[in-house]
Amino acid sequence: MTVRHAISAAAERFAAISDTPRLDAELLMAHALGVERGLLLLDPSRFDLPAGFAGLVERRTQHEPIAYILGYRDFWTIRLGVGPGVLIPRPDSETLIEAAAAYFGTAGPKRILDLGTGPGTLLFAALSEWPDASGVGVDASDAALEYAKTNARALGMEERTRLVLGDWATGLDGPFDLILCNPPYIAESETLMPDVADHEPPGALFAGADGLDDYRRIIPDLPRLLAPGGAAILEIGATQHMLVRQLAEAAGFAVACTQDLGGRDRALKLTRA
């Protein structure tokens, strides 16, 4: 079987479990070959079928996330190492960086806080955007912070970064020009795809009966942390705009919403009213 045929066969198997079966197959083939996907697609015929590809396909058919199999996920302009125990960065979350870039422009923030940083997703994306900035990343998971530390080294951002094991902003002192946060916001009753439900950490996904528990803790603490002229940008579920807006306005913030590429409400920008 040629590489091209093997990709097509794998994509057919993935069709029942993935929204992106062809992409999944191409990424796994490139990983098995030890090359970037772009190089693979230029001319698949130059490569011999790697022995390890079949095993990767089997792992994917068991709903193991592609990012865990590859060991990384590309996000914004950076590549982040990820694996079991850490929330996988999603393209929708790039909306928060877009909203921050629109607000700050090229001057950028000087001091950044990422609450629930995971593998450093939003923090390192922001630091890549503004090379003169420094930042603090907080997470309640030791496993997530280990990935964040590794990513800081790989990206050359160790000297600009402080990573803290903590409970949201408890014990932190401001001010921060930019506060980023992608908290858990899924209601406990919601059913998720097996890729997510069976593999990613529940503590990074679920937030009480209505999905708002962590917003209720985070938002009232933001006024003491946010610098004058700064912005806090929170990721929300597509149906949570008005509910989270009410919490933010009750804390004294002016609120603006940015939609993701799918046209869904995704990022709420909070500034001092």
Q: What is the pLDDT of residues 80-138, one digit of tens each?
A: 999 999 999 999 999 999 999 999 999 999 999 999 999 999 999 999 999 999 999 99
Q: Are residues 56 and 157 in the same domain?
A: no
Q: Do the domain assignments include residue 120?
A: yes
Starting at the edge strand found earlier in the chain, the sheet holding 176-181 runs 161-165, 134-139, 111-115, 176-181, 226-235, 265-272, 253-259
Q: Do the domain assignments include residue 78?
A: no
Q: Are residues 25 and 118 in the same domain?
A: no
Do 246 and 257 contact (CB within 8 A), yes or no?
no
Percent of the chain, pLDDT > 70? 100
Q: What is the CATH number of the domain that holds 103?
A: 3.40.50.150
Q: Which amino acid, residue 216?
A: R
Whole-structure pTM value: 0.95
Q: What residues make up the domain containing 140?
A: 88-272
Check whether 245 has a pLDDT greater than 90. Answer: yes
Backbone angles phi, psi at 270, to 5 degrees: -110, 125
Q: Are residues 45 and 110 in the same domain?
A: no
Residue closest to 194 by CA, chosen among 61, 82, 42: 61
> Rg for the chain (alpha carbons), in Å?
20
Task: Specify the number of domains making up the chain.
Answer: 2
Q: Do the domain assignments include residue 256?
A: yes
- Residue where a domain stops, chosen among 44, 62, 80: 62
Q: Are residues 221 and 146 in the same domain?
A: yes
Q: Do the domain assignments include residue 68?
A: no
Q: Do the domain assignments include residue 203?
A: yes
**pLDDT score at 273:** 81
Query: Which residue, chain included where needed, has tokens 């989270």?
Result: 244
